[in-house]
Structure 1
Amino acid sequence: MRSYIHNVKTVIAVVGLVHGFCVAAVPNDSMVYNFSELTASPVLAWTSCYENFTCALLEVPLDYAVPSLGTLNVAIIKKSGPTHDAQEVLVNPGGPGGSSVAMVLSDHAAIEAKIGTNYSLVGIDPRGVNNSEPTSDCFVGYPFQTRNAFLSDALGLADVTSEAVLKRQHQSALAYGKWCTGLYSVNGTAGYANTVATAQDMLRYIELRAQDRGQPSQDAKLWYYGISYGSILGATYASLYPTRIGRMIIDGVLDLEDYYDGGWEAAIDDTDKAVSYFFKYCFEAGPALCLFHQDATSWQQLEKRYQSLLSDLISSPIGLGDPTSNTSILFAQTQGVLLSPYVLTWTDIVSQMFASVYLISPINVYVMDLVLVALQTQDVESLAVITEKSQISTFRPQYDDRMARTLVSCVDTDGRSNKYTDFGEYKKFVNYMYNRSNSGGLSVAAINGPICSRLDVRPPVSQKFDGIPRVNGTSAPILFVSSIADPITPLSSAKKMHGLFPGSGLLTFNNSGVSNLTA
């Protein structure tokens, strides 16, 4: 679920530029800076890349059970440890759709601060993600503006206050699934982009590394650190290969069965609690540090004020659009983004709040504070930056994790979301999710739903999994880590997974947010 911080990243980028920090890479002709420069190989052929890393493009079978079907390429990056024989730890940042390569590049210092500096960190982009094949892009060759506009609509939060709007959103999601089915059918490899296959790729990697060291490949064991969806990947691997684990830490735990069922219903058990923590932090910080505080007498008063703002937006959406505003000019100059006319609705604010509590940090809380104050004071042009629908990019990003998230999660459900083709069933599901969590239900309902109903892509028999672990134990205990107020990977899921893997441990942090990587 790491992709839900997309909006907040945009705002943070602007805040950073306003305050004057910017980092630019200095190219080195002897280095590789793009996986397209590498030649795929069935063995690990390392090449120096991105200054202080090594990269490889590994050729793996589409289906390990039927190697003759062909191959695809997966991207691998390594941040080497202090010694040539340092233990390698594979990492995954979440998603589906999160790039493990990007995680090693950008977050290696934070990971090392948690697990120590004696390890080599390895990121393998899962199938369908970023640098790894098959492509998850349903808009190859289309202008980014077209893709962004459609995805923002098809993947947007459902509006439970209007049946007409909900019907349009339902049809938009169905159309997206049907559209991608047609695009994916061209080469027929999309069904091999699934979590089981990525777990098999991780096994292939550690076996190849064992061979490189002159060790028996069958004795190789995985050392792994995964966050959020990374818990699904890790638990899937542990379910398939329980005797092939060296160490495994899962930080921010999803319910494996709930994920493969396609509903994500258990994921929002603590979302409203996590949002309440936002207002607790604001109240404790005081009016000098949290502008939305405004001398409130309790955090409950702040949350009530927030709910009142949402109610006002439900009845009175706000029209945005001023090309001469400072916000519009700043975005155009610093981000290559033009702000277009847009109507801000209550679901935009709910989505932004969900993104803010996903990764609790000073900057995320600060940005949400500014958004709430801007909403309260009707500073409408500042509000334009929080929604993708008001943004027209003047350049095409290299990677959009939203399509990978949809492809991988839909293939993993293997048809179990087909009931949402019917609008009545979809409406019932959306309202159920919203009632279960006003703060997170709509965000989670948009992940699969009717898109998967029409995305006619299935995994091969050898890559099917129902999400139910059937193990008596693992070769090393799994450590599950959870916060007490987690908006998408709740403590209840961690407790369930802890019970399903005999011998595992459960570590609980008295804080909020998904990952304890930065806690």
Structure 2
Amino acid sequence: MKLPALLPFALSLVVGSFALPQLHPRANSPDVGDTEITWGTKCKSLAAESPLPMKCAKFRVPLDYTKPNSTKTLDLTLVRFDAVRKPVKGSVLFNPGGPGGSGVQFVIGRAQQLMTILGGQFNLIGFDPRGVNNTLPYVCETDLYQGVSMVLSNASDVALGQNFANSEIQASQCQAATEDIGGLVGTAFVARDMARIVDALGEDGLLRYWGFSYGTLLGATFAAMFPEKVGKMVIDGNVNVHEYYSGWDVSTLVSLDDVVAGFFSSCAATPDLCALASSNQTAAELAQTVDDLLESIKENPLPITIEGYADNAILSPYEGTSTLVDYSTVKGLIFSNLYFPQTWPLLSDSLQFLLTGNVTGFFEVMAILEGGGGDSGDAFQGIAFGEQALRTNNLTSLDPLISAVNASSKWGGVDIGLENAIQAVRWKQTAKEIYSGDWQVQTKNPILIIGNTYDPVTPLINAWNTSASFEGSVVLQHNGYGHTSLAQPGLCSARAVQSYFIDGVLPARGTICQPDIALFSNETWEQVFAPLSLNGTAASITKRDNDALLAALQHVGESVHRINRPRK
């Protein structure tokens, strides 16, 4: 097992202070559930309209894989879009991240684009993992809990302690509301569900899979549990599997300061496209200006009442409400939009509004940036917190972790790096099965692992860490900004993904792909897409298809961003 350099030492410091939940071994599967999938076309309950003909199904799996004699089952919701070109090369399953992202809605919403990216030769299959939507929904919010709110831990001298105390309330409330299902939504169970789906498809018994963000953790766990069932697997925006399961997460933010620096340097280099750079400051001066703004708002938050927007589709839900624009609001907005460089011009607009005292303008842009979906907060907690090992009721026990997180990123520190950990350590539920086997694995077929050079939350080092666990895997470095390679896509990575899925060809080791749109660029997608061509067994594609391929990547990237951006 390849561990982060800090992990063994850090755990030796704190393991005595924590209760470590039982790591359950692999379970024998109960002999219940479906062995075939019966697809139907009456799917309007999932989507009133679909860009392509859609099929759907309910697929029964064992409710609890740790009880071999149990007859209880769970219905998984599946959707399918059939390949539009021959020869058909099988089916690809997707997980867009979260955890808590809906694979069903992701595939429905982006079926046409996903079909384009994969050359039209694969069936697309989306499923909602346990805890998500109608698949054993994990919901713990009640009227009692709504008074509890979390702020960034550096928002004041007492914020960290308040967050730690609020985490106890949150954990107890979720335990009371979801006690019967809290142990049934973990990643290992979802991996077993996927194995059953693959078998029931009646193809070659091998998984073809594309996962983003948390979807990389799910993919890696599946590959470790079922190495003989790996057909094609692309995992993009990789979570550090060792730190995730230990709960000792110190590598997440190691690239964050570089991403922040990239935001300011690209802004300063394009003052005609970045409102924040209108005063011709250098990148360092812009960074200091925003740091000063955050410190000012920490001491003097700004009140605002939303009036006069009843006819505005974005702001009308806020009409007549009052709120504070405070430190957590502004820094949280900056962080969430570092995930997706296409929002950086709007982010700069919002900050410039604040600097000039236009709080209403800031709020209007913020509402645009925060519009749309996101992952399910409850499902995120139920899945992620239930399978992370560290537990404590003593805040001082977290001092080594706090020091490590602060050292990993000056800009993020405990504000960003401790947000999940401070909640997870007080969680009351534990997944019934947590993968605790080997992380030195030979899969039947090699995995393609993609990492961004400048990813704010899944740094490139994580891709290399995952690759070290899977013999024969290849890391494709995408030299872009944002979370996953789709945040700032390019032709090189698009070709690599297509060639791998369609022809089974991995990129050469050491390949570094460049994005094809500059930060703060006014290039159109059409200008960028034209050069794309595709060789191999797939037919040559027309210019219109070329345009469509990266346009598809852009739109899929938008969906991945909405699912994986930080929870409100």
What TM-score, normalized to structure 1?
Answer: 0.78
Give, in whole Å, the separation in 2 of the partners of 1:41 and 1:335: 46
Matched, 1:123 2:96: no
What residue number does 2:39 align with? 46
What residue number does 2:447 align with? 478
Contact 1:256 1:467 in 2 (8 A): no
Q: C-alpha deviations, 1:67-112, integer Å up to 9, x for none?
A: 4431222221222211595521111111111111121122334434
What residue number does 2:510 align with? none
How far residue 350 of structure 1 moved from its aligned partner, in angstroms, is 1.7
What residue number does 1:220 align with? 205
**Which residue type is aligned with residue 62 of structure 1?**
L
How far residue 467 of structure 1 moved from its aligned partner, in angstroms, is 7.7
Matched, 1:167 2:187: no
Matches within 5 A, 1:271-420: 271-286=256-271, 288-318=272-302, 320-324=303-307, 326=308, 328-329=309-310, 336-338=317-319, 340-361=321-342, 364-384=343-363, 401-413=376-388, 416-419=389-392
How far residue 386 of structure 1 moved from its aligned partner, in angstroms, is 7.5
Distance 1:486 1:101, change over 3 A: same
What residue number does 1:21 align with? none
**Which residue type is aligned with residue 321 of structure 2?**
S
SS in 1 for 2:336: helix
What residue number does 1:11 align with? none
Matched, 1:157 2:161: no
Distance 1:41 1:344, change over 3 A: same
RMSD: 2.8
Contact 1:279 1:300 in 2 (8 A): yes
Give, in whole Å, the separation in 2 of the partners of 1:455 and 1:464: 15
What residue number does 1:62 align with? 63
How far residue 353 of structure 1 moved from its aligned partner, in angstroms, is 1.1
What residue number does 1:114 align with? 117
Task: Name the structure where helix makes up a greater proportion of residues.
Answer: 1
How far residue 337 of structure 1 moved from its aligned partner, in angstroms, is 3.7
SS in 2 for 1:247: strand
What residue number does 1:492 align with? 461
Matched, 1:249 2:244: no
What residue number does 1:501 align with? 470
Structure 2 unaligned runs (5+)?
Answer: 1-32, 490-568
Contact 1:75 1:132 in 2 (8 A): yes
How far residue 250 of structure 1 moved from its aligned partner, in angstroms, is 0.8
SS in 2 for 1:132: coil
Distance 1:354 1:126, change over 3 A: same
Contact 1:136 1:407 in 2 (8 A): yes
Give, in whole Å, the separation in 2 of the partners of 1:192 and 1:339: 42
Q: C-alpha deviations, 1:445-499, integer Å up to 9, x for none?
A: 22242x3333321222xx222486132x111111111111100110111111111
SS in 2 for 1:171: helix
Contact 2:212 2:238 in 1 (8 A): yes
Contact 2:306 2:318 in 1 (8 A): no
What residue number does 1:19 align with? none
Give, in whole Å, the separation in 2 of the partners of 1:510 and 1:239: 28
SS in 1 for 2:100: coil
Q: C-alpha deviations, 1:197-245, integer Å up to 9, x for none?
A: 11111100010011xx5xxxxx500001111111100000011011111
Matched, 1:453 2:437: no
Matched, 1:469 2:434: no
Matches within 5 A, 1:74-113: 74-82=76-84, 85-113=88-116
Give, in whole Å, the separation in 2 of the partners of 1:481 and 1:337: 39
**Which residue type is aligned with residue 409 of structure 2?**
S
**Which residue type is aligned with residue 386 of structure 2?**
V
Distance 1:510 1:200, change over 3 A: same
Number of positions where the alignment pairs a residue of Structure 1 with one of Structure 2 = 443
Give, in whole Å, the separation in 1 of the partners of 2:438 and 2:326: 39
How far residue 184 of structure 1 moved from its aligned partner, in angstroms, is 1.5
What residue number does 2:396 align with? 424
Distance 1:77 1:334, change over 3 A: farther
Distance 1:474 1:400, change over 3 A: closer
Give, in whole Å, the separation in 1 of the partners of 2:279 and 2:363: 27
Larger deviation: 70-79 or 245-254?
Answer: 70-79
SS in 1 for 2:55: strand
SS in 2 for 1:348: helix
What residue number does 1:35 align with? none
SS in 2 for 1:456: coil
Contact 2:107 2:125 in 1 (8 A): yes
How far residue 402 of structure 1 moved from its aligned partner, in angstroms, is 0.7
**Which residue type is aligned with residue 57 of structure 1?**
K
What residue number does 2:184 align with? 192
What residue number does 2:250 align with? 265
Give, in whole Å, the separation in 2 of the partners of 1:399 and 1:253: 19
Contact 1:314 1:346 in 2 (8 A): yes
Q: Percent identity?
A: 24
How far residue 400 of structure 1 moved from its aligned partner, in angstroms, is 6.1
Q: C-alpha deviations, 1:363-385, integer Å up to 9, x for none?
A: x1122112101110111223346
How far residue 330 of structure 1 moved from its aligned partner, in angstroms, is 5.3
SS in 2 for 1:191: coil
Contact 2:82 2:122 in 1 (8 A): yes
Distance 1:160 1:292, change over 3 A: closer
**Which residue type is aligned with residue 280 of structure 2?**
A
